[in-house]
Structure 1
Amino acid sequence: MLAPFRNYRKVITLSCLSAALLLSGSGEAAVAATRGHNLPAVKSSGVPAGSKVNDEAARKELYEQMSAATGIPWFRFAAIDQYERTIAKKKGGTEVSASSRLTSIAIPAPVWSGPLNPDQADKSPDSISFFGGFGQDGSGDDLADPANDADVLYSMARHLLNYGNSANDFNIAIWEYYHNGRAAQRVAQFSKLYEHFGRLDLSGSAFPLPVGTMYAYRSTWGTGRSWGGARIHEGTDLFTPHGMTVRSTCFGVVETKGWNRFGGWRIGIRDIENRYHYYAHLAGYEKSISRGDIVTPGQTLGWVGSSGYGKPGTQGKFPPHLHYGIYRDRGITEWAFDPYPLLKQWENQEYRTLRKNKKNKS
Structure 2
Amino acid sequence: MISISQFSLLCLRCAAYGLIASIIWLNTSAYAKAEEKASVSKTSPPKQVENIYDSRKILYDKMSVLTNIPWYRLAAIDQYERTMTKAHPKDRKHPERLTGIFMSEPAWTGWLNPDPKDVNPKSIEIFAGYGRDGSGDGIADANNDVDVLYSMASHLLKYGYADDDFYIALWDYYQNSRAVQRIQQFAKIYQTFDRLDLFEHAFPLPIGNSYAYHDTWGSARGWGGNRIHEGTDLFAYYGLPVRSTCYGIIEVKGWNPFGGWRIGIRDLENRYHYYAHLSGYNKSINIGDVVTPGQTIGWVGSSGYGKPGTQGKFPPHLHYGIYRDRGLVEWSFDPYPLLRQWEIEERKRLKKGKTVPSS
Interval of TM-score (by shorter of Structure 1 and Structure 2): 0.7 to 0.9
Q: Deviations over 1:124-148 (max 9, x none)?
A: 1111111111111111111111111
State the alpha-carbon separation in 1 of the partners of residues 149 and 88 from structure 2: 16
Shift of residue 92 of structure 1?
9.5
Shift of residue 272 of structure 1?
0.8
Contact 1:84/1:90, CA 8 A, preserved across alignment: no
Partner SS for 2:207: coil
1:40 lines up with 2:37 in the alignment = no
**Further displaced range: 37-46 or 205-214:** 37-46
Q: In the TM superposition, what are the counterparts of 1:217-256 in structure 2 within 5 Å?
A: 217-256=213-252
Q: Deviations over 1:56-104 (max 9, x none)?
A: 1111101100000000011111101100111135699231211xx2101
Q: Gaps (5+ residues) in structure 1?
A: 11-31
Tell me what 1:76 maps to.
73
State the alpha-carbon separation in 2 of the partners of residues 80 and 233 from structure 1: 33
Contact 1:47/1:54, CA 8 A, preserved across alignment: no
Tell me what 1:107 maps to.
103
Tell me what 2:9 maps to.
none
Shift of residue 159 of structure 1?
0.8
State the alpha-carbon separation in 1 of the partners of residues 351 and 94 from structure 2: 42
State the alpha-carbon separation in 1 of the partners of residues 127 and 314 from structure 2: 63
Residue type at the aligned position of 1:76: R
Structure 1 residues 6, 90: CA separation in 2 closer, same or farther (over 3 Å shift)?
Answer: farther
Partner SS for 1:258: strand
Contact 2:21/2:121, CA 8 A, preserved across alignment: no
Tell me what 2:149 maps to.
153
Shift of residue 40 of structure 1?
2.8
Structure 1 residues 48, 108: CA separation in 2 closer, same or farther (over 3 Å shift)?
Answer: farther
State the alpha-carbon separation in 2 of the partners of residues 80 and 249 from structure 1: 23
State the alpha-carbon separation in 1 of the partners of residues 261 and 332 from structure 2: 20
Residue type at the aligned position of 1:58: S
What's the TM-score, normalizing by structure 1? Answer: 0.85
Contact 1:237/1:323, CA 8 A, preserved across alignment: yes
The two structures, once aligned, show a CA RMSD in angstroms of 2.6
Partner SS for 1:93: coil
What's the TM-score, normalizing by structure 2? Answer: 0.86
State the alpha-carbon separation in 1 of the partners of residues 266 and 20 from structure 2: 46
Partner SS for 2:297: strand
Structure 1 residues 9, 302: CA separation in 2 closer, same or farther (over 3 Å shift)?
Answer: closer
Identity %: 60
Contact 1:90/1:106, CA 8 A, preserved across alignment: no
1:96 lines up with 2:86 in the alignment = no
Q: Gaps (5+ residues) in structure 2?
A: 1-13, 40-45, 355-359
State the alpha-carbon separation in 1 of the partners of residues 184 and 89 from structure 2: 19
Tell me what 2:180 maps to.
184
Residue type at the aligned position of 2:66: A
1:297 lines up with 2:293 in the alignment = yes
| Aligned residue pair count | 330
Residue type at the aligned position of 2:27: H
> 1:279 pairs with 258, 275, 279, which one?
275
Partner SS for 2:143: coil
Shift of residue 213 of structure 1?
4.4
Q: In the TM superposition, what are the counterparts of 1:302-341 in structure 2 within 5 Å?
A: 302-341=298-337
Q: Deviations over 1:223-246 (max 9, x none)?
A: 000111111111110111111111
Q: Deviations over 1:138-193 (max 9, x none)?
A: 11111111111111111111111111101221121111110011111111111111
Tell me what 1:27 maps to.
none
Partner SS for 2:319: strand
Contact 1:114/1:131, CA 8 A, preserved across alignment: yes
State the alpha-carbon separation in 2 of the partners of residues 75 and 107 from structure 1: 20
Partner SS for 1:151: helix
State the alpha-carbon separation in 2 of the partners of residues 92 and 140 from structure 1: 31
Tell me what 1:57 maps to.
54
State the alpha-carbon separation in 2 of the partners of residues 218 and 252 from structure 1: 25
Residue type at the aligned position of 1:275: R
Partner SS for 2:353: helix
Shift of residue 198 of structure 1?
0.6
Structure 1 residues 8, 221: CA separation in 2 closer, same or farther (over 3 Å shift)?
Answer: closer
Residue type at the aligned position of 1:346: W
Contact 1:259/1:265, CA 8 A, preserved across alignment: yes
